[in-house]
Amino acid sequence: MTLESTQTPDQVRAAIAEAVSSGAPIVELVDEKGATVLVPTAALGYVEIGSPEKSRVGFGTTH
């Protein structure tokens, strides 16, 4: 599962760590559109948290 979120990597890490360490049955995350995503903690094999992507800047030319 891939989730793009406006939450910082630290916020995602904290939410997952808290859910797993407390034995919560789910971890609740928010995607970039503001929708809540519920993930069963028992289904987590591993979590890869990427760094925020920088805005891309493009340059075009006209002929």
Q: How many angstroms from the chain centroid is the CA of residue 1?
A: 10
In a domain, residue 29? The reply is yes
Average pLDDT for the chain: 84
- The residue range of the domain holding 21 is 9-43
Closest CA to 51 of 16, 15, 19, 5: 5
Q: For residues 14 and 8, what is the distance between their CA atoms, to the nearest angstrom?
A: 10
pLDDT for position 15: 93
Structure tokens at 32: 């970039």
In a domain, residue 2? The reply is no
Q: For residues 16 and 14, what is the distance between their CA atoms, to the nearest angstrom?
A: 6
In a domain, residue 63? The reply is no
In a domain, residue 27? The reply is yes
Q: Strand, coil or helix: what is 28?
A: strand
Please say if the pLDDT value at position 17 is more than 80. yes
Provide the pLDDT confidence category of residue 22 given band limits of 50, 70 and 90: very high
Please say if the pLDDT value at position 46 is more than 90. no
Provide the pLDDT confidence category of residue 34 given band limits of 50, 70 and 90: very high
- The structural domain count of the chain equals 1
In a domain, residue 24? The reply is yes
In a domain, residue 55? The reply is no
Report the amino acid identity of residue 19: A
